Chains A and B, each alone.
Chain A
Amino acid sequence: MGYTLIYSQIYKFIPYLIKGAIISLQIAVLSFFIGMFLGLIFATIRTFGPKILDRLVVIYVTFFTNTPQLVQIYFLFFALPEVGIMLSPFYAVLIGMTLNAAAYLSEIQRAGFISVKQEELDAAKTLNFSIFQQVKYVILPNIMQVLFPPLSNHYILMTLGTSMAAIFGVEELTGRALNINSDTFRSVEIFSITALIYICITFLATFLLAIIGRYFFKAKIRIIQ
């Protein structure tokens, strides 16, 4: 083996990488919450809405959950300029991840909607609650406990998913690792440290989500099973 591992050369890049990790988290958090909001609207449409909108949402969700996120972003990044919309890499990734997330999160939330007992919704209807009020006051409070684990799980998946932004040149964690790699060529050291950072941020996220879940939603998540 004509190669020795020299980690000392790489240590100085760790702050640079961590700043990249923060950008990864920004992408994940933004696309998750916007996606969850959109998903909520979609779930509401699918549960209450007119048949036409329901069908449209089904087509949307089916399409986005049966195709890879990477290719979706490729499409946004390369195909949209054809119709005159030029997106920066960051926004192409952000929008792509958000649209993808909206599809998956709408299904998760819709499952929660279904689990609410019909009697409670009927009671609300007789009290003249609008759809918006039914969702806000009857459905959401009831299902938060059930939804918390799958939503948290998807968030973690999205955090890992931000790494594909590097392919488009975004300087998040993986992107920065690739930068350092092209400068120093200490590939194994760089990517093993990058991997370690991903492991740490997902552990941190799981841990925080477990605490939030337990105290606010009484939903239990295990950190390591």
Chain B
Amino acid sequence: MERILEEIPSFFTYWNIIFLLKAMGVTLLLTLLGCIFGFTFGILLAITRKTENLYLLPLRILVIFFTEIFRRIPFLVTLLLIFYIFQIFQITDSVFLIALYSVCLIATAYIGEIIRSGIESVNQEQWDAAKAMNFSYIQTLKEVIFPQAWKVILPPAFGFFILFIKDTALASQIGVMELTFAGKILNNKGFSPVLVFGSILILYFILSFPLDRFGKYMEKRIATDRN
């Protein structure tokens, strides 16, 4: 305990604090970019999945494969796989980019599912009414379904974003300079692990908790909005 108290001044130096803040930034950046990509392509996945055209069946099967695969492999394994595949093809992207690609793929799979169940939450009869008036598939989605579905999509999508912040901790294993990796570095420098990892935990908490509260507030607002 005394050791911890002794180390506090040398731990919370200007350089260290900036270092940790930068690492927090990397964590946030990874998560944010991943989720934006995931949302954009998740919409595409969901739209493809809900088509009924027979000729589009191979595409639908592809989407199902993609979704199931990336939701059933641990994040760490996905990271390592992409890492080594890039190695073979001698692509020299930075580890940040490799982590980013992994994050994008996984986010697309998960968010695609969230969007899909959002679409499915809209009553089938809304589709019938639109079809009977000659709405095309895309028109129905744009004018009728998505305006109603987003209320069901937003809370879990935001929840996934918050969850993903924690998942990015695994990117530390391939050397991405995010928050957990920063912790490992400081730990290796000899600082007390209680101090180091305790601080890392608190920093993640500072990232996650306010967002979580905001998410719950948003959910309440949407729920009362419905009435």
How many angstroms from the CA of A75 to the CA of B178 in the assembled complex? Answer: 17
Q: From A187, which residue of chain B is reached at the shortest CB distance?
A: B84
Question: What residues of chain B lie closer than 8 Å to A187, measured between beta carbons?
Answer: 80, 84, 87-88
Contact in complex: B197, A163 (CB < 8 Å): no
Q: Does B187 belong to the interface (CB within 8 Å)?
A: yes
Do the beta carbons of B64 and A224 come within 8 Å of each other?
Answer: yes
One of A86-94, A138-146, A191-199, A207-215 contacting the partner: A191-199
Please name the residue on chain B nearest to A203 by beta carbon: B72
Interface residue B74 (Cβ < 8 Å from any Cβ of A): yes
Task: Tell me the interface secondary structure of chain B in the complex.
Answer: helix
Determine whether A38 belongs to the interface, using a CB cutoff of 8 Å to chain B: no
A163 touching B74, Cβ below 8 Å: yes
Q: Mark A155-182, 1 if CB is under 8 A from B, else 0.
A: 0000011111011000000100100000
A-B contact count (CB 8 A): 120
- CB of A68 within 8 A of CB of B80, answer no
Tally chain A residues at the interface, Cβ within 8 Å: 40
Find out whether the CB atom of B180 lies under 8 angstroms from the CB atom of A74. yes
One of A8-16, A59-67, A111-119, A126-134 contacting the partner: A59-67
Q: Please, how many angstroms separate the alpha-carbon atoms of A62 and B72 in the complex?
A: 27
Q: How far is the CA of A70 from the CA of B187 in the complex (A)?
A: 15
| A199 CA / B66 CA spacing, docked (Å) | 12
9 A-B pairs with C-beta separation under 8 A: A63-B201, A66-B204, A66-B212, A68-B169, A75-B197, A78-B187, A164-B76, A188-B81, A224-B64
Partner-A contacts on B (CB < 8 A)? 3, 64, 68-69, 72-78, 80-81, 84-85, 87-90, 113, 116-117, 165-167, 169-170, 172-173, 180, 183-184, 187, 192-194, 196-198, 200-201, 204-205, 208-209, 212
**Given A67-B208, A160-B72, A160-B74, 4 further pairs, Cβ under 8 A:** A3-B88, A66-B204, A71-B200, A198-B73
